[in-house]
């Protein structure tokens, strides 16, 4: 089996830390895993006011450009938006785009537009919008039910300690993609069938509107990197 490079992009409020199980299993299987912190997340302390979709994409491009060869780019949840825009700019650095319970925007769509269509999501009720309207945090008591219902308690505790505020500006910015660039990168969608944050119905709506080469069902909630890392890695390494 040849070595692959996996670049792992987290979702809203999260950071590189959420991939710790997946990264370890990928490396144990003989691959290279690079989990990054988007600006303003994890250990990155970029001020909220400076966090934009462009800043997210630039961080991803920096990581892709640093790799010796094309890699597999994995985006979870909100991370599906910047990996989409990143593929427009670096199609030759990406073997496959993997959308893990992720937003899959078409040209001109934004995270805010798509998330507003997911009427069954528990996320709106779990969010607290800052007084100045520039970022959101999450209600601690809503975390397990919304994101981690099938996850080990130690991982829920990790999330409670490590989650950071989510700037709103990146979500309001639409992607700009073309068939010539983004459109030629193979896409795979991993759909989480018991998801309460990004509902299976909304996931299906997106991968139906923008078809993927393969759709892989996972019988998990929104966070399979915690609840089913072995299964997730088996699918990733089989791509």
Strands (DSSP E) contained in 66-221 are 71-76, 94-100, 127-129, 135-138, 166-167, 187-192, 214-218
Percentages helix, strand, coil for the chain (3-state, rounded to 5) are: 45, 20, 40
Tokens of 116: 């507003």
Classify the C-alpha dihedral 49-196-99-115 as positive or negative. Answer: negative
- CA atoms of 16 and 37, how far apart (whole Å): 5
> Tokens for 154?
């130690």
Catalytic machinery residues = 77, 195, 222
Record the tokens describing residue 190, joined without a space: 């991993």
């Amino acid at each position: 089996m040849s070595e692959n490079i996996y670049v792992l992009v987290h979702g809203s409020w999260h950071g590189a830390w959420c991939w710790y199980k997946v990264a370890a299993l990928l490396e144990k299987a003989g691959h290279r895993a690079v989990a990054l912190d988007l600006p303003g997340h994890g250990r990155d302390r970029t001020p909220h006011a400076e966090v934009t979709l462009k800043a997210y994409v630039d961080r991803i491009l920096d990581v892709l450009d640093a790799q010796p060869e094309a890699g597999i780019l994995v985006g979870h949840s909100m991370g599906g938006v910047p990996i989409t825009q990143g593929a427009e700019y670096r199609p030759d650095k990406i073997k496959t785009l993997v959308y893990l319970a992720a937003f899959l925007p078409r040209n001109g769509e934004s995270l805010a537009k798509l998330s507003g269509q997911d009427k069954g999501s528990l996320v709106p009720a779990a969010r607290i919008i800052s007084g100045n309207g520039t970022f959101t945090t999450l209600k601690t008591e809503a975390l397990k039910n919304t994101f981690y219902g099938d996850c080990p308690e130690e991982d829920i505790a990790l999330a409670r300690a490590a989650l950071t505020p989510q700037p709103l500006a990146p979500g309001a910015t639409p992607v700009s993609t073309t068939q010539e660039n983004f459109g030629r990168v193979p896409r795979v969608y991993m759909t989480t069938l018991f998801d309460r944050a990004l509902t299976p119905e909304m996931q299906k709506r997106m991968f139906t509107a923008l078809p993927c080469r393969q759709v892989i069902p996972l019988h998990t909630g929104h966070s399979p990197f915690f609840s089913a890392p072995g299964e997730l890695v088996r699918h990733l390494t089989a791509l």
